[in-house]
Amino acid sequence: MRQQDEIIQILKEKGLRVTPQRFAVYANLLNRFDHPTAEEVLSDLNQDAPKSSQSTVYSSLQALCEVGLVREVLLEEGVCRYDANVAPHHHFRCRCCGAIQDIAWEDLEGIKLDKVRSQFRVESYEVTLHGSCENCQSD
């Protein structure tokens, strides 16, 4: 678990003003590993009394994505999930319960695949490449 000061420092370095709400959103994401939706972050923060409005959570998430502290995870229709783990990694999504788990980059290469297979029954996988296509290479 990260220190408060450390989080504040990271936000400042990225040029974001440190407000209690924005701090809370980022701290929440850093402490959970279930790739929550914006709504889930909101209700987690407001468990007791409302401390953050809906639009603030949305805009905080957007700001955090823009500076690269948070990543969007698009694995289901209709909702956008967020992940404070921005190191390159992959995802496993359970077809039954919908749970999403991180898969370390290295575990997908070569021999380590056994490690993944011992934990999950992998039925299919897909690779999504991002970059620029021929038409856009001139940029």
Binding site for its own copies (CB under 8 A): 72, 74-78, 80, 88-97, 99, 101, 103, 108, 116, 119-137, 139
28 is a contact residue toward DNA (CB under 7 A): no
Interface with DNA in residues 116-135 (CB under 7 A): none
Q: Which does 16 bind (CB under 5 to 8 A by kind): its own copies, DNA, none?
A: DNA
How close are the terminal C-alpha atoms of the chain, in Å? 41
Separation between Cα atoms, residue 62 and residue 138, nearest integer Å: 29
Q: Are 35 and 5 in contact (CB under 8 A)?
A: no
- The least distance separating DNA from the CB of residue 10, rounded to whole angstroms, comes to 12
- The least distance separating its own copies from the CB of residue 34, rounded to whole angstroms, comes to 12
12 is a contact residue toward DNA (CB under 7 A): yes
Contacts of 87 (CB under 8 A, 6+ apart): 105
Q: Which does 39 bind (CB under 5 to 8 A by kind): DNA, its own copies, none?
A: DNA
Q: Nearest-CA neighbor of 24 among 53, 15, 37, 79?
A: 53
- The least distance separating DNA from the CB of residue 130, rounded to whole angstroms, comes to 19
78 is a contact residue toward DNA (CB under 7 A): yes
Count Cβ atoms within 10 A of the Cβ of residue 90 and give its class: 0-12 exposed, 13-18 middle, 19 or more buried: middle
- The least distance separating DNA from the CB of residue 79, rounded to whole angstroms, comes to 5
